[in-house]
Structure 1
Amino acid sequence: MTAELAAPTPPVLTSTTAPATARGPAEVGLTVGVEEEYHVVDATTLEMRDDAALNRAALRGALGASVHAEIATTQLEVATEVCTSLADVRQGLRTVRAQAADAAAGVGATIVAASTHPFASWEQQRLTARPRYLELFEKWALLALQQVICGCHVHVSVPDLDTAVAVMDRARPYLPALLALTGSSPFHEGVDTGYESYRTQWFARWPITGATEPLGDGAAYRRVVEGLRTAGCVDDASNLYWDVRPSERYPTLEYRIGDVCTSLDDAVLHAALARALTRTLAARARAGLPAEEVRPELLRAARWRAARHGLQGSLFDPLRGELVPAPAAVGDLLAMLRDDLEDRGEWDEVQALAGQALARGTSAARQRAVLHRQGDPVAVARMLVDESLRGVR
């Protein structure tokens, strides 16, 4: 449920093709782009806003090339331009957040960059009248109607499908740490769920979410996609909602594990880590190092714990089979990526952003603190609006 990054007639990844266009270079991790989904809320009441005119404008592309309609009429999705530096990512996110906010302001609304709204219900939204979304309803019934969640998707350039799959296979143990840093969905249907990322749990009802088993190569990936198509779960690979997947249209690997980062700094950090992880793991694959073996049950446990506790308490390391304090787990990830980040001149910025995230906690933790302090979910929504647009204008 995502509008892919805007680009002119992009190539489709195959197991042998290595496209090298201006928008899709062959070098692993040379480019990165970010998609974010937002809730549209009334600028005064901060309730979720279903505005038919705004939805129609988004559907026909009248809000600009970067702002799109999403599955729910109360959502907008944005996509940055293809970026080559973290400065590009930051400026790209500033631009698209401002564009979405300006579009919403035209109907007396604004945006919330968080994966759930603090007090809204799915019954306050409608299904966007796009054939793709109507087909999802025909296939998934109530699940499609209840998608009152938003996500963040980071696209990292890869040369071919085999490389994408090699990184997917090796990324699985490290995805929970990425999730823990992004939690922004503590509330659902007006209830404090106790989770930092309840979006992860809500979305898990779909059988095409989560992490895959190791696939080995592009041919195996295609066989799995064909099996899911035969089963009636997907029409094609663009319908997969795995935590990380090859893009069907672009020469990228797409990380879908994260909640929407309310803070612009956290969004830049998330993109930086996804790109560095891709480069590091692709290098390991080229060196002939195998994917690390880890039981799927332990991976699910690690993912659940990251969604439940975020940066508070401990995360489960599925490779060592032990609990690790969240700051130490993030530190371990940074240590693994340090050589790559230093080679690219990104280490100082990423280290500073990670330290800042650990010091102030996730969006979910900040939302919960506002609710406990003020006892008013509207105050939480107000904080989310303010933080979503901080540093944007």
Structure 2
Amino acid sequence: MEDLLKNHMFAAHAIAAAGSVTLGTAVTHPLDTLKTLIQVGAGSGNPLVAAQVLGRIQSITGNLGLYYGFGWSTLGRISGLAARFGVYELLTAFYKDGREDNYVHVSEALLAGIAAGAMEALISTPFELFKLRAQVTAAVHLPPSSSATANQVNTPVIARFLRGYTLDKKAWDHTIEFLSPLSNKHPNVACSLKEYPWMLTGSGRPPAVHEVKRPISIISLEGWNALWRGLRPSIVRDSVFGGVFFSGWQFLHIGMLEQKANEMNPPPRSIEEIGPVSPLAASLAAGVSGSIAAAASHCFDTAKSRSQCTVLPKYVSMERRLLRWKQPGYWIERASGIHPSDRNYLFRGIWLRMARSGLASFTIVGTYFLAVDHIVPK
């Protein structure tokens, strides 16, 4: 009977956690979409603002475009946060083992948060790739193309890598015109050129990112390794975020406990006698910690987003491995996955991410406490 009750309690906590994460993602996904498009749309000119991005999304896909990639984002958040809090609880349980008080130091919360963030990045990176590709589609105008035209210009290579992709006929005609002065000994030079992967688009360039958004297209064109593209900046970002988030949350939690202890008469002799803080106070502390952690890790989030927004076919990756290609930049940029060309864009969209992380943390923690209070038996 006791084991059955424990299983029911575990299921109730799991349902409450999944529901709170889903609600938090639903509330903050429009902010995440605007933040992502500002990051990947950064150029040498004037920086994009949220109003410009919002207007473009509404003109192309409507308000529904703000929720493109919501399913992938929800799956990634549920699995990633489960790993983050699971690893954190395991490590802090090890720290608290043998102590009289159920107490974790701020430095211990920092170290546990760094390890928990690294584990979260390993699990959530593929979901973030699919989410980002879907979000980019929300701001891209797709020209209409008939299936008959597509079947006429599609080649076996294109059909194998990208099902349903339509060849850029104008770029292809320009390429053939450029090659026309060369000796034409082959009976059909144009069709032979189409068999080469680097001529997929007819211009020698890989397809646009909004054309490679489905998992099957990403895997067939870019390979399985593409699912973890941007892993290095993701690990650094989530490690920094997890360390700052949990250490900040623990610091605020200790301060609230001390304030509560000062108001008690007689003074408590241990932390257990103080009791837990209110759910609202815990939610506010989580929201503040989430905003600070987002600000501390935002530059790595931008590097991750811009890396995942690049289509890198398998043959290019293979050539880089064979040529032992090294990423340019300083050693700290290479270690953290920041490309030198992105140096001027690393803090684009920081306020949106701070608002999104703070609101999501507040919503998730508050909803979780509220759900547990109603569905978990006393």
More helix by share: 2
More strand by share: 1
TM-score normalised by L of structure 1 = 0.22
TM-score normalised by L of structure 2 = 0.23
Q: Which has the higher contact order (CA 8 A, sep 6+)?
A: 2
**Larger Rg: 1 or 2?**
2
